Chain A
């Protein structure tokens, strides 16, 4: 299957700072990537859909100015948590579909665990 990789896998930052998380499709080009947030013992909640070369589409209730998404190339999408606060601590996971794969399967990155002190 297709490979999606995230970096960093673990990050700790001070309150008020910004953190950037990268999501890469390693063996395919992804015009669309999805960013999810997962709190402990909860489900995957879609935050936004990242579109290559255009603005991201945010889900209701997700602040676009706080969670900046950039999809500048067909293999890289970045999520920047700006002015992070402890309540932003969560597991952030990206995903993508492979255009050449007609199954519809969603491939996930390893996830990035953010802890804001």
Chain B
């Protein structure tokens, strides 16, 4: 089955700096890669996603890149702010319906003022 790895497990950056979180997946059939942000004690919220037919996607300060050949994808957050502090999970999935997501172990991001 699918296996998703995520690095680093913890990341501290100064406010205004960029943060990069990387994930790798094992199953080449996976074609949907979302990123979720989870604040303490709250539900995960989708922040950005990318499909296998796209190499890069950007939404304001957040961007995701995908390298299908190498089977890895990355989350980039620019101009970080204290409210970006949270745990970020990547995931890999096959198909739109009825297919489970496999989540990475998470990255705890701390943005220092």
Give A residues with C-beta under 8 Å from B.
1, 32, 34, 41-46, 49, 91, 93, 97, 99, 102-106, 108-111, 113
Contacts and interface: CB of A to CB of B under 8 A. Distances in A.
Interface of B: 32, 34, 41-46, 49, 89, 91, 93, 95-98, 100-106, 108
Contacts, number: 54
Nearest to A57: B100
Given A44-B44, A97-B96, A106 B106 contact: no
Contact of B106 (A42, A49, A91, A110): A42
B83 to A, nearest CB: 19
B103 to A, nearest CB: 5
Given A41-B108, A44-B44, 13 more contacts: A1-B46, A34-B100, A44-B89, A46-B100, A49-B100, A103-B96, A104-B32, A104-B93, A105-B49, A106-B34, A108-B44, A108-B45, A110-B43
A44 B44 CA distance: 10
A97 B97 contact: yes
A44 B97 contact: no
Contact of A43 (B45, B98, B105): B105
A32 B95 CA distance: 14
